[in-house]
């Protein structure tokens, strides 16, 4: 089984259909593709927001995502996966992050996508700053994201 891995950090938006096509084309062993897209909402914790700015740690961000992609591939029988994380200024309704997983079986595709998202939220070095009527402020990490990531740690 060949596994194709794509990891990108970019300012530009992504095209889910194109990314799915890139992951699945020329092969007929994939039975399930799960995509997760994270989208900028116009409220955060009840307060209206005008935009987000995403900052990241170049070099480490790619290294962390690659490490978790390798963990996902060792833990689930995946045909391929794609992680795209945008940085820079993002408006409500715009895409922030894309995770795609492809497998022969749906359970593996679902679990690997959830695992990657939980780890992106808590371990990948990205930070969100929000713009609202009250000015700009850094979004605080949420305890339940840590809890979500912790469920993948083997006890």
Partner 1 sequence: MKVKYFAWVRERIGKEEETIEPPADVRTVGDLIDWLARRDESYAHAFETPRVIRAAIDHAHVRSDAMISGAREIAFFPPMTGG
C-alpha–C-alpha distance, residues 9 and 7, integer Å? 7
Closest of 115, 128, 46, 114 to residue 85, by C-alpha: 128
Binder of partner 1 out of 89, 123, 132, 152 (CB under 8 A): 123
- The count of residues interacting with partner 1 (CB under 8 A) is 30
19, 76, 85, 108: which one contacts partner 1 (CB under 8 A)? 85
Residues 146, 122: Cα–Cα separation, whole Å? 6
Residue 34 binds: one of a second copy, partner 1, none (C-beta under 5 to 8 A by kind): a second copy
**Residue 135 binding partner 1, by CB under 8 A:** no
Written as six digits, the tokens of 111 are 């679990």
Q: Which does 150 bind (CB under 5 to 8 A by kind): partner 1, a second copy, none?
A: none
- The answer to whether the CB of 102 falls within 8 A of the CB of 32 is yes
Q: Can residue 54 be called a binding residue for partner 1 (CB under 8 A)?
A: yes
**Residue 135, binding choice from a second copy, partner 1, none, Cβ under 5 to 8 Å by partner class:** none
Closest-CA residue to 48 (of 89, 87, 91, 85): 91
Asked if residue 124 binds partner 1 (CB under 8 A), the reply is yes
Stretch that binds partner 1, among 11-19, 20-28, 69-77, 117-125 (CB under 8 A): 117-125
Cα–Cα distances (Å) from 19 to 28, 39, 89, 96, 144, in that order, read 16, 17, 22, 15, 30
The answer to whether 64 contacts partner 1 (rule: CB under 8 A) is: yes
| CA–centroid distance for 102 within its chain | 15
30 is an interface residue for partner 1 by CB under 8 A: no
Cα separation, 19 vs 140, whole angstroms: 31
Where does this chain bind partner 1 (CB under 8 A)?
A: 38, 54-57, 59-61, 63-64, 85, 96-97, 106, 117, 120-129, 138-141, 145
């Amino acid at each position: 089984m060949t596994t194709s891995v794509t990891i990108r950090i970019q300012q530009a938006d992504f095209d889910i259909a194109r990314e799915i096509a890139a992951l699945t084309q020329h092969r007929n062993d994939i039975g399930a593709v799960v995509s997760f897209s994270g989208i900028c909402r116009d409220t955060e914790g009840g307060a209206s927001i005008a935009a987000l700015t995403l900052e990241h740690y170049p070099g480490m961000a790619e290294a962390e995502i690659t490490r978790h992609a390798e963990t996902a591939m060792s833990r689930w029988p995946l045909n391929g996966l794609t992680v795209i994380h945008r940085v820079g200024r993002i408006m409500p309704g715009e895409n922030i992050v894309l995770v795609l997983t492809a497998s022969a079986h749906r359970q593996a595709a679902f679990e690997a996508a959830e695992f990657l998202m939980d780890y992106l939220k808590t371990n990948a070095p990205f930070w969100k700053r929000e713009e609202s009527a009250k000015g700009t402020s850094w979004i605080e990490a949420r305890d339940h994201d840590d809890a979500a990531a912790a469920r993948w740690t083997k006890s």
